[in-house]
Structure formats: C-alpha cells, structure tokens
Structure 1
Amino acid sequence: MRFYQLLLFLLISLTAFGEKSPIKIKGHITSGKEHIAFASVSINEGQLGTHSDDTGHFVLELEKGKEYKIEISMVGYQSIVKHITADKSGELHFNLKKDLLELNEVIVSSSRRAQNRKETPAVVNVVGKELFASSNFKVASEGLNFISGSRVENTCGNCGATQLRLNGLEGPYTQILIDSRPLFNGLIGVYGLEQIPVSMVEQVEVVRGGGSVLYGANAIGGTVNILTKSPEFNAFEVGSSFSTIDGKSNDYNVYFNSSLISNNEKTSAYIYGSFRQRDAWNANPEDVYYLIDEDGNPYGNPIKDDFSELTALSTYSFGSKIYQKLNEQHKLSLDLKYTKDERRGGNKLDLEPHEADLTETIDMHIGSASLEHDWFSTNKKIHLNNYFSTQYVHRDSYYGAHQTPDGYGLTTGSTIVGGSQLNLDLGEFFGGENFFVAGMEYIHDQINDKKLSYFDEEENRQTDDVTISDQVSNTYAVFAQNEWKADRLSVLLGARLDYVDIKDLQNPENNKSLPAFNPRVNMKYKLSEDMQIRAGFATGFRAPQMFSEDLHIEVSSGQGVRTILDPNLEAENSISFNLAWDLDKTIGGTQVYLLTEGFHTRIKNRFDNQFDYMEDGTLILFKRNSTSDAVVEGFNFEAKVAPSEFFNVQGAYTIQSSSYEEENQWGDEDSSTSKFILRTPNQYGSITTNYNISNQWTASLTGVYTGKMYAPYIPGGFIDGELTTEETLIETESFFDLGFKVSYITKLTKDTKIQLGLGVNNIFNQMQESFVSGIDKDAAFVYGPITPRMFYFDIKIGNLLQ
C-alpha cells in the first residue's frame, strides 16, 4: 500500500508542477436563435468542466496562454469541439445543431470512463428518456426490448419472474449493474429489473458480448448498466398513470423526483419515490379443469379456471443521492435506496397462501447504501475513485399447491462491494492519446435459503426450519486496461484476474476456490468521418455458485422446485467475437444511422439443469456441467432515420441461431432431447416512431416482434379441458406487440409544464394460443408478450419537461 501511495504522490507532484494562476473566460451556447440552458462544457476530455446556466452562459477558469480543447454537449444536440488559446479577448460562442437521433450520449460502460458514445471502441446501445416517454413504461426492463439483440421475457405465470436475454443467452449470462456496481446479487436478479422505476433512471447502457475484463463474472452475453439520475439543476417532476386491461384488472403508478443544488453548487441532492399497484389477471377464465386422483386420472365435475396469468404486485421504492464537493479536487457522494416488493399469483388470492390450491408469493425488502470518494489532480489528468456499496435482501415466500403447509420459506442475502479505480490521462504516445485504467475490487455475497417450520398434522408436531442453501462467495479482483486513441484508429487492451472463494456452509466438502483470468481486445477504425468499423474479442466465466434463477422456486406439476448444485460443479467459460460496421451521416436534411453487427459466442463447461427427486420426494433441479458446448451466433441490425426534427423512425432486428453442439436433455433423464436453446427465437426486433405534430402535440408508435421458438411443457395441467400427460416441445407462434401513444404538453405556470398522455399497448392483443389450467399446471409454460391489450392515461408535471 505504501508503494501505491508513493506512486500516487509522484504523479500528483509531476502534474501539479509549473501550474499558473487562472483567468476567467466567458462563453455562451445557442442553437439557432435560442440559448441552450444546462449544456455540458468539458475541457480536455473532462479534465475540467461546468454547465451553462439557465440563460445558456458559462464561465471557465483557465491558465492564460495555454491551449485547450473544449467540447460542448447536450442531449438532443450534436456535440461541438473547439481548440482555443486562453486569453482575455472576446467571449466564446458555440452554436449547436440538433441531434435528431440522439447519438451523442456520454456513456461509461464501454471502457469504465466517461466518453462520447460515437468514440467508444465497443458498440454501446442506450435507452434514454425519449424512449421511456414514448410509451407507458414504468420500470427499466420495459425499454430493453427496443435494443437489437435484447429481449425481456416472462418466465413464470404465477409470480411474474422475468429475465433479460442478450444475443439469445439466458438472463444469468448478463451482468446487470447499478451505477457501474454489481449489486444485482444472486437473490434479486429474478425480479430486479421490474423493481427499478423509470423515475430514478437517467439512462440504461447495454454492451453486448463478453465483458468480464471490466465487471467480473456473468458478463458473457453482455453488460447492462442502469445509471440512476444525479442532481445537475434545480428540478422537480411528479407524475401518475392508470392502465386497465378490462376495467377490472388495473395498474396504478405514482412517482416524484426532485433535484436540489446549493447556491455555491457544492452540495446537491436527488430524491425520488414511486408506488405501483397492479391487479392480477386471468387469461382463460372460461377454461375448465378437473381434480386428479392418485392414479393420475381426472374425476368429478369440471372446475372453472381461476388462476392468474398476470401477477398481482405492490411495489414501493424511494431513495436519495447526495453529493458534497469539498473542493476542486475532492468530492463525496452518498446513495441510499429502499424497495419493498410484494407479488402473488395462483388462485384464491384473498386467502392465506396455504389455503389456496396453487400459490406463489413473495414479500421482498431490499435496502442498499453506497459511499464514494472522488479525487482529481489539479489538471484533472488523474482521477482516483474509491467506492463501498452494501445491500441486504429479506424475502419471505410461499411456493406450493394442494394447500400444503410446508411451502413457506425465508431467503436472506447480503452483498458488499468495495474497490478502488485509478484513471490516468497519459497524454500523447506513438501518435495517439492514451487513457489507462487500473483497479481492484472485492465482492462478498452471502445467501441463506430456508424452508420454514410448519405444523405436521399427521405427526402432530411442529417441524424445524430446514436450511436449503447457505453459501458465501468472496471475489478478489484486479483489472487493468489501456486505450490508445489516434485520429482514425483506437485500440483497447485489458485484462482482469478474479479469485473466487466459495464456501458451502451446509456441505463444506463442496467448498471451491478458483482463479479466472479474462483478457479483452477492442479495436475501432474510422473509414471516414461518417463511417467506422469495430471488432472485439473477449473471454468470460461464471463461477459455480448459487444464482438468482436457482433461488426462484417455481411450481411445476403441483410441486415446488428447488435447485441443488453438483458437488463437482466447475466454472463455465466462454469466448466471444464481434465485428460491427456503422454509419452516421446527414444526407440533405436527413440524419441517418445504420449498424450491422456480427457476433459469435461459445460456452464451454456450461451449467445444465436436470430434474431429479430427493429422498423425501421433493422435486429438484440438479445443476451439473454439460459435456456439450453451447454456440450462439448471428447478426444485429439497426437503422435510425430522422428526415426532420419533427419525425424520426428507429428499428432493430436480430437474426441468430442458438444451439447445443449435441442434443441436450430437458426435464428428467427420460425426457426428450433438443439441439435448440429453448425459449430463444431465431428472429426478433422492434420499431419506434415519433412525430411532433406541433410544439404541443406528439404521437409515438412502438412495436416489438418475437419470432417462433421452442418452449418446453411439463405435463400435469389441462389445455382446452384435456389433461396433458406427455412432456413436449411446443413450437410457438410469432407475435407483434404494437403500441400507440399521443401526448399533449403546455405551460402550467411560468416555469412549470404539464404533459398529458393517452395510449394503448398490444393493440392486436397478441398472446399465446393456449394457457394451462389446473392445480398441477406448469407455471413456467409462458411465452410471448407479458401483458394483453392495455389502455392507459398518464400525467406529468415538472419544470424540465420537453
């Protein structure tokens, strides 16, 4: 540690040597005849920076006679760069052109430092405010369907669990980050994306392909970085929405957020809160089922289906992010969040869970806190970020059927993430700028899963709590990368070394310790000012530990299903390649963006689940390593066209193949085999259009296409009144979920606007052909759009609405 401190001292001394007293330089920013308020002013790649005030003016303190590179950026406008020599003559003027496709966002996920998206060595997609506003999106996951290679799906009809697939790979292969921190631990991943309200999200950045070199395990399919809002200006917004399916099954949402900045701009805070309540919905209330005797035969009178396909839920979220600027070199930030999420599916939802025929319910509490310290050298060429984050999760649950009393469970999880990251601007080297990043990180994750005690009437006694899983994982990591950036060519080289120590407190003989080394190479070459190609190579891994999907105890054939790890389970490994070409060009008055990306990912030693039974008859998923590799490859396409500032259209489409090299069993050892990776369509895509009818009226059209795929069905329930007795693979139909919204905005007061919206989602009511009925139905037999046709109305009031 002394060597590290000495090195840092020398770097500070060298960069501080010879600095002179600053002079004040004034400037203003316009677009046409209008001044642009709150635009970002960045000096020398972020060494210094400020914002324009509410009149579009700014003041900089620069060293007299020195040359500077000034970049002005603002969401909705094309960035502009000027090289100046600081003196006292005149006032700087920057005139921005509108960025009709919003391609110039500042992102951090590609290389772990802030930079313009167009300049990143890897392809990064961004879900921003405009897309969230184009429909009745309430949570972060709903916007991810509109990125090529990305698809959000429902995986359980009882509890409403969802997962994100990137490039066809299942949810556990995607690393989900909150403000660049891996706090999506092995417990909240199943429901986490539905627990993040849009009101707290600034933007969502998606990097497809391996990225373990930056963020550790699980980043095989890609990385999703959810960046929460930060206080930049004094602002507020409140809003509410009401959605209904049939006038009986409704979805209510209300939220607020506010940013507060002190007069000296040294203290700032962002506060948010949201509440959502959704009623359960039954897709097939006219279908019937029968009770089943011990021999598996139906008997008695037909019973009308009363099981939910859309889960009832109630979610509260609130939090605050506070910044304190101690001086020009030191800044502290504190981030606090709390979420309470209740959801229940099945039937007889007004009764106690064990009194219903089939119930899956959770009551989850999530609390997190993060503290960061940022230090900058006087010339901002050195940035040291130290961070500490912690999260605790408490989940009460019930998973069971046939009014069984032993379905209650308690799962707790704690996560600690601590680390330090050093960013260095090394200046010019071999004709290009060099940016070096190095750091170390510690991740502690503990999960305890219990089956709670109950009164056993047959034995006339109270049973004891039974611990299903008690696992502790500690990860120690170091990483480093260097980005060399010339006029046309950029090269990024990096590597990360993880040492994962896993302790199974239930079965110490299953303890594991393993190192994992993962390199990364990314290259970008500018063919012209408008056209560039990118290529990437990366490896990835997943440690042999409990993951979020392992702790989702779904109900199958009337039994709760739990996961047990093979004592010999080894880590998964992956290798991925990608090659992309993109064009960003203005032709006449039309701005056009095109992207074609090819990708290939191979997963070795992959985890494979097989059904089995414990001695007490409990149905389990036995997780082991497969001898068959999985290969996912294909092409992502994107096109964005904006003929004018009043109209734009954007589309994304993916064509891929997802398969195992050898046929893979699904279900138990006697079940069918398939080479297909199940629940993965070979074609899917999306489209969005926005039309500004006038300064006050806007219309938006959004659509998500899902192609055919193979979905597994485990027998036990009734389809169209007939008992299903065989495990089968269903080739699903294709779906097109189309939505429409019209919005009206006007001034409420001098500084406040009000926006009203009216719309409909899933206009053509695209849903799967058949739903399963009965107490013993397969809860995982769901596919296609998550919700049916839904009408909605929303209202927003704020001082920064556009």
Structure 2
Amino acid sequence: MKYCINLLLGCILSIHAMAQHSSVSGTVKDKTTGEPLPGAVISFNGKKSLAGNDGRFLINLNSPASSQTLIISRIGYKSDTTTYEGSHITILLEASSQTLTDVVVTGTMKAVSKTASPVPVEVYTPQFFRRNPTPTIFDALQQVNGVRPQLNCNVCNTGDIHINGLEGPYTMVLIDGMPIVSALGSVYGLSGIPNSLVDRIEVVKGPASSLYGSEAIGGLINVITKNPLKAPLLSADVMATSWKEYNFDLGLKYKPWKKTTGLLGVNYFLFNNRIDKNHDQFTDVTQQNRIAIFNKYNFERQQNRQASLAVRYVYEDRWGGDTRWTKPFRGGDSLYAESIYTSRIELIGNYQLPTTEKLLFSGSFNSHIQRSAYGNNIFNASQQVAFGQLTWDKSLGSHDLLAGAVFRYTAYDDNTTATRDTLTGRNKPQHTPLPGIFLQDEISIADKQKLLLGARWDHHPVHGHIFTPRIAWKWNPTNDDVIRINAGTGFRVVNIFTEDHAALTGARDVLIPEELEPERSYNVNLNYVKKLYTKFFWVNFDASAWYTHFTNRIIPDYTTNTEQIIYRNLTGYSVSKGVSLNTEFGFTNGLKGHIGGTFQDVSIVSKNAGIKTTSRQMLTEKWSANWSLSYTFKKGEWTIDYTGNMYGPMDLPLLSEEDPRKPTSPVWSIQNIQVTKKLPHSIEVYCGIKNLLNWTPAKGNPFIIARSHDPFDKLVAKDANGVIQKVGVNGDPNPYRLTFDPNYVFAPNQGIRAFVGLRWTITGDKL
C-alpha cells in the first residue's frame, strides 16, 4: 500500500512538473526606460523564442524542463540569465556601452527616451567615432550623415560645421547643454575636447531658436561629457600617423573631497612636419601645437539634486603658409603665412535649487582671445560670453511644462571696422545684452501621440523684439514606428568678422554697403523611424525631409567684383530643402554598421527690378553619403572597420572667368580602414590607413592656391582702369589675370597616411 501511495505521489509530481514547465512566458524590457524590447532572443531548455513587438515571449515545451535557467540576449544589450519559477516573469536588460544611447536631452532640454522625444535627435557615442579615430570632434563629425566639416582656408585650415548644407554660423555648438562655443571660436570649440571625457554627441537638424536662441537657426551639436560618478578610473588613448601627427588623450577620475567626484581630462596634439606634396611651396596641412585641460566636478546632494562644475582651458599655436616661414617673418610681407595664437577658457555649471519645485540654474562663461596674422594683415580679437539660465520643470496631468528665463551677455572687440566708431574713428567694443524667456508644453494627447508647443522671446538692443515659436507632433503607430513633424522659426544676428575667414585674409577687400539685419527662417521637418528585428539581424531606418525658407540671409558675394567680398541683406529669399536616409544594422554573426545619404538643394533667389534670379549656394554639395562597416571575429577579439564618405559637386569661388581652376568640384571620396585587437587588462591596439584612395583637391586642378609665389601681389600689374595685366612686374607671367587667393577650398589637402594607436581603460574606484 505504501509503495502504491509513493508511486501515485511521484506520478502526480511528475505531471505537475511537466504542466508547470509545459510553457515559459515573460516580458523583456529596457532596464532604464522600462520600454518593451522586441527582438530579444530567449533560450530555455534547448529551445529559443523571439520577443514580439510588445516584448512578450512564449516557449512551448514538449517534455519536462531539465534546466531552470533562461538566457536572454539582444543586439545592443548585455546578455543576462535568470531563474524561471513557473510564473510570467519580467526581464530587465541593460543597454551595452557599445550601442547608441537611448536617452537624449538636447531636443527638449529634458532627459527623455530617444523614442519618446517629439524632436528627432541623433545620438553618437565614442564607440561610433572609434571606427575612424580622429584627434578632434571637428574631424570626427564627418561620419555623421548630413553633417560636413568644411575647411575655409587652404593655409590655416580653420573651418566650421555644415548641417544640411547650411554653413557653420548656423550651427550652435553646446557643451553639456551650454552655448559656450561662440562665433569667434567655433572651430576651436570643437578642438581640444578630450575624447576620453565625451559620453555622447547629440545632433538636432533644423532650427531650435525657440529653446536656444540665436545661432541655432540650422541645427545643434551638443557635446555631453561623462558623469564623473560613472566614468572609468583611468582611460588613455595615444595615436600617431605616418605624417608625424601625435595625439595624446587622458582621462582620470578622482575624489578630492567627500561627496565630490572629479574627472580630469588632458588632450595634447602636435603636428610639426612641413609637407608640400602639391609643390606650391605652401604647407598642405597647418602646423599645430595644442593642449587642452578639462576638469569636471559632480557634487552629491540630498534627494539626488544636481550640482556640477566644469572648466576647460585650450591653448593653440597654429600656422600654415610658405614652407620657408619662421616666426621672425610673422606679420611681415617677405614670406607669407597665417599664424594664429588662441587662448580660451570655459566654465560650465548647474545647480538644482533646494525647493519642492524642480528649479535648475545653469550657467557658463567663456573667454576667447585670438592673436592672428594673415600675411601682413593683423587680426587681434577677444570675446567674452556670459550665459545664465533658470528653468522650471513641472508635470501637470497630461502636460509636461518647461519654462525658463535666460540672459546672455557678449563682449567683443577687435582691430577691424566691426568695432570702430564711424564718426570718430576710435575703437568701440561691442557689448550685447540679450535677455529672453521661453515656455514649452509637451502634451500627451493619446497613448501613442504627443504634441509639443513652444515659444521664445528675446530682446536685442539693436534689432528689438524677436519672437520664435515652434510646434512638434509625434505618433507611434506601433512600437517599431515613429512619425514626427516639426515646424518652427529661427533667427541669427550676423557678425562678419568673427564668422567668415575669407573676410580676414586680406586676399580681397571687404565691402558692407548697408546695415546688416538679422537672418530669419521658417522650417518644417518630417521624420520617420522604422525598426526591424529578426533572429539574425536588426535594422533601424531613419528618414527625414525638410524645407527651410529664409526671408533674409547674409551671403558673401564673390562674383560681382573678383577683388571684393560684398555682404548685404538679401533682396529676395533663400531656400534649403532636401531628404536624408540613415540606416543602422547589426547581425548576430558580428557584422554591424551604418549607411547614410543626403540629397539637398540650397538656393538663393534674388530680385532685381522685378526679375528673379536663382543660383546655388557656393561650397554646398548636391548630395553626400557616408558609411561604416564593422566585423568582429568570434575568435581572437579582432575587429575590422571600414569607413568612408562621398560628396557630390559643389560650386566653387573663382577669381574670374579666366581662372583655370574647376568651377565645380568633382565627386570625391575619403575612405579609411582600421584593425583593432583587444588584449588582456582592457588594452586595445589599433592601426589602419586613412584616405585609402589618396584623394586631394589638387587632382585635376593646375593649382589650388592662386599665385602662391606672389602672396602679397607685389608682381601684379594693372592698367589705368584697374584691369590686371597678363604680364606683371619684371615680366612675371600672369596669363589668367589672377591675384593671390587661398580661399579655393572644399576638401582636405591631406593624402594617404597610416596610423597606429593604443587605448587602455581601468574601471573601479582605486588604482
């Protein structure tokens, strides 16, 4: 009898175990945002299942389970294991540091999920840029679709960032959300930021003046530095190239006081090798000696209130020109060079007030001092910008409010007519206070829809009241589809001598025949994001179409008089329109990458006596493409990266109809390859080749710099009417009637080169 009872109980328990494990179910979610994670792979007892669009999964078993452990994996997330105990479970996966982060702040000034943001924001981590390592963020942005680092001078190699075909002054550059990169120091603001301290870079394409004010008329680039609490203890990156460029990057976390964590970063770049491969007796790449020091503190406070303070100092000695030039020739007319000394300091901080309401004060200050010599033309300038902002963040039912009061004060002085009193001729520095207020309301109008309404008011001491509204709508028809429509306005106050390098070189005379008014624009942007997940790969599609109408733009006129650059208000209007597609993908076999393309048309419509004339904007490509492909081998911890970009034709500034240089650029491409090997103790060794095709703009052109042998035009002869002669002083030939001109530039002059580097990272709290 006892035997029969035990046998019966055993059968019941076996049947119960089989029933208990006849199926396994659960939901996979993002650990940070709580959002469902479709496409996750769940392994249990030899069987696999794929999570659906709602993150749910179900595994049916034909026999009792022999294991209680589930293994969960998803591309872009750290794999995890958990114990199944017979009930529906929720699995939280943590995002991998190798993927693009899903939290953004730039679009709405609030930390939100990238998917939940009504404003499309592109996010790039240092891992993305490591596929083609560069010494500066300025160079690294060439990997971003629709963003192009534009060199503005063949001699000093300064430049700016173009977004969707609009020049650098239309792009606002932020560090930790603070607009500290002023017009005078735009290129320097993106140089010398230690890459080891960068957490991510967020890019917003299109006007954002309703939140960020002037200069945000074309887009935003927000460089967000690491939180010292989450940073590695030590990170170092050393790289050298066959052109004898050397870059050193160091990050160190330390704890100077109780409840205070510091993060120190140092970047040093040196290039002191005079190379002239196009044989024009001018350096192909500027000589640079730059050091940057960055220090950031995070303070621990009650109730996790925010408090941080950061400081950055940058010093650079940069010059390019005649390969025989030395510093005793600086500012003279014997040997030509463009020599620029830059000293820059920046302060950034925020402090959350100890109140029941969420009030955050953020502030920044930067001082930029520049001492330049463009041949014998001396340009000395200084600019100080102080910025303060108080925001109130409040949720009321379906309304998520953000209100703010801002004040920006700019002091600017230089030795040009920009700061000269026209009546007395005395120096008159500019002092520009710019107060403003803004209000933003993000409304949840349905489970899958959001409406964003925003407006900003600024008061300029010269141009008066400036009002910039915007509206945005977001709809998620499914968990894998996002549709966004954004519309808004932008404005920008122009300062020629801080923004346009061509106005400073002295190669042409600058003419400003009228008072320049602010530039204003109206923009609409449509964005669609689609995510696809399978057992073997995932794909993200991000497509956008935009249209921007400018009622006024200040566009340099190079063609009316070939010896002048004329700046005046636009008599018609300007239009920027286009479409772009960005595709990211990854396979379970180790292959991942992205492919992007942009087609754009930036045109100027001029009106003269009732007649409209349409022309393309100079130095703006019709189309561009970029890509990156990475493959990680399963054995040996090897990774190979292949990156590149390609640009369509753009109109170029010629001196005259006789100028033999090409009026439009050819289709050109720069491609790179890199191999990385991971070693024990968190060490990585990498090497590769940049510019595999050895492409430079000198190909197909008789010369790049016009009359580089006569940079001060001492040998140019003119007749009584000012017409340049074909035979100059002492019989010097001038068959094309040209003067010295270094502004014919659309691509880097640097050819093929090899590089090698080493990275080392130590995590933890103590060495």
TM-score when normalising by structure 1 = 0.74
2:457 corresponds to which of 493, 497, 502: 497
- In structure 1, what residue type is equivalent to 2:238? S
> What residue number does 1:654 align with?
598
Q: How does 1:257-296 map to 2 (within 5 A)?
A: 257-260=251-254, 266-279=259-272, 281-286=274-279
Give the match's secondary structure for 1:141.
helix
Residue in structure 2 matching 1:320, options 286, 289, 295? 295
- Residues in 2 aligned to 1:554 and 1:136: alpha-carbon distance in whole angstroms: 32
Query: Partner of 1:340 in structure 2?
Result: 315
Q: Unmatched 5+ residue regions in structure 2?
A: 1-29, 36-72, 81-86, 418-424, 712-739
1: CA distance between counterparts of 2:97 and 2:758? 25
Higher mean alpha-carbon deviation, 95-104 vs 210-219, is at 95-104
Deviation at 1:547, TM superposition (A): 6.1
Q: Give, in whole Å, the separation in 2 of the partners of 1:764 and 1:487.
A: 51
Structure 1 match to 2:710:
775
How many pairs were matched up? 641
Return structure 1 stretches of 4+ with deviation > 6 angstroms.
97-101, 466-469, 611-614
For the pair shown, the structure with the greater C-alpha radius of gyration is 2
Q: Which residue number corresponds to residue 448 of structure 1?
A: 413
Structure 1: distance between partners of 2:94 and 2:346: 41
- 2:56 matched residue in structure 1: none
Hey, what's the Cα distance between the residues in 2 that align with 1:625 and 1:568?
A: 8
CA distance in structure 1 between the aligned counterparts of 2:649 and 2:278, rounded to whole angstroms:
26
Partner of 1:7: none
Q: Does 1:535 align with 2:485?
A: yes
Q: 1:104 to 1:274 in 2, by over 3 A?
A: closer
Task: Tell me the residue number matched to 2:127.
Answer: 130
Cα deviation digits, residues 320-342 of structure 1 (max 9, x gap) = 11121232254431111100011
CA apart distance, 1:588: 2.7
Q: Which residue of 1 aligns with 2:285?
A: 310
Name the CA distance, whole Å, in 1 between partners of 2:414 and 2:97: 50
Displacement after TM superposition at 1:396 (Å)? 1.0
CA distances 1:564-619 after superposition (whole Å, capped 9, x unpaired): 655522111100111111101212331110122111011112113347999xxx97
Whole-angstrom distance in 1 between the partners of 2:492 and 2:436 = 14
Q: Does 2:349 correspond to 1:371?
A: yes
Tell me which moved more, 178-187 or 784-793: 784-793
Give the distance between the partners of 2:155 and 2:614, measured in 1 at CA. Answer: 26
**Deviation for aligned residue 1:147:** 2.2
Could you tell me which residue of structure 2 aligns to residue 594 of structure 1? 541
| 1:3-18 equivalence runs, <5 A | none
Q: Deviation at 1:200? A: 3.0
Cα displacement (A) at 1:350? 2.3
Letter in 2 for 1:601: T
Instruction: Please say if 1:422 is aligned against 2:392.
Output: yes
Deviation at 1:645, TM superposition (A): 6.4
Match of 2:47 in 1: none
**CA distance in 2: counterparts of 1:515 and 1:221, whole angstroms:** 21
* Cα distance in 2, alignment partners of residues 116 and 329 from structure 1: 20
Note if 1:629 corresponds to 2:573: yes
Structure 1 551/640 Cα, relative in aligned 2: closer, same or farther at 3 Å?
closer
The question of whether the paired residues in 2 share the 8 Å contact of 1:282 and 1:306 is answered with: no
CA-to-partner distance for each residue in 1:200-245, whole Å, 9 max, x for gaps?
A: 3221111111110010012121111111222123521112110123
1:384 paired residue number:
359
Instruction: Give the aligned partner of residue 456 of structure 1.
Output: none
| Distance in 2 separating the partners of 1:409 and 1:684 | 35
Distance 1:199 1:377, change over 3 A: same
Asked if structure 2 preserves the Cα contact closer than 8 Å seen for 1:125 and 1:205, the reply is yes
1:103 is displaced (CA, Å) by 4.6
Change (3 A) 1:100 1:256: closer
Q: Contact 2:463–2:517 at 8 Å: present in 1 too?
A: no
The CA RMSD over aligned residues, in Å, is 3.3
Query: Which residue in 2 is equivalent to 1:472?
Result: 431
One-letter amino acid of the counterpart of residue 486, structure 2? G
DSSP 3-state at the match of 2:652: strand
In the alignment, does 2:700 pair up with 1:760? no
The change in CA–CA distance for 1:202 and 1:564 in structure 2 (over 3 A counts) is farther
Matches within 5 A, 1:12-91: 76-77=76-77
SS in 2 for 1:241: strand
Q: CA deviation at 1:191?
A: 3.5
Cα contact 1:189–1:548 (8 A) shared by 2: no
What's 1:708 paired with? 649
Retained in 2: the 8 A contact 1:593–1:640?
Answer: yes
Note the C-alpha offset of 1:285. Answer: 4.6
The sequence identity of aligned pairs, in percent, is 23
Q: Deviations over 1:347-392 (max 9, x none)?
A: 12324223542111100000112232113766xxx42111221111
Matched to 2:532, the amino acid is: K
Deviations 1:63-118 (A, max 9, x none): xxxxxxxxxx99942899xxxxxxxxx9x984417679835421100111011111
- 2: distance between equivalents of 1:653 and 1:414? 38
Asked whether the equivalents of residues 156 and 779 of structure 1 are also in contact (C-alpha less than 8 Å), the reply is yes
Pair 1:76–1:767, CA change in 2 (3 A): same
Residues 487 and 774 of structure 1: CA distance in aligned 2, closer, same or farther (over 3 Å): farther
> Counterpart amino acid of 1:354?
G
Q: How high is the TM-score relative to the length of structure 2?
A: 0.78
The farther-off stretch of 621-630 and 205-214 is 621-630
- Displacement, 1:408? 2.9
Partner amino acid, structure 2, of 1:594: F
Alpha-carbon displacement from aligned partner over 1:474-511 (angstroms, at most 9, x marks no partner): 1111001011234210111100101112xxxxxxxxxx
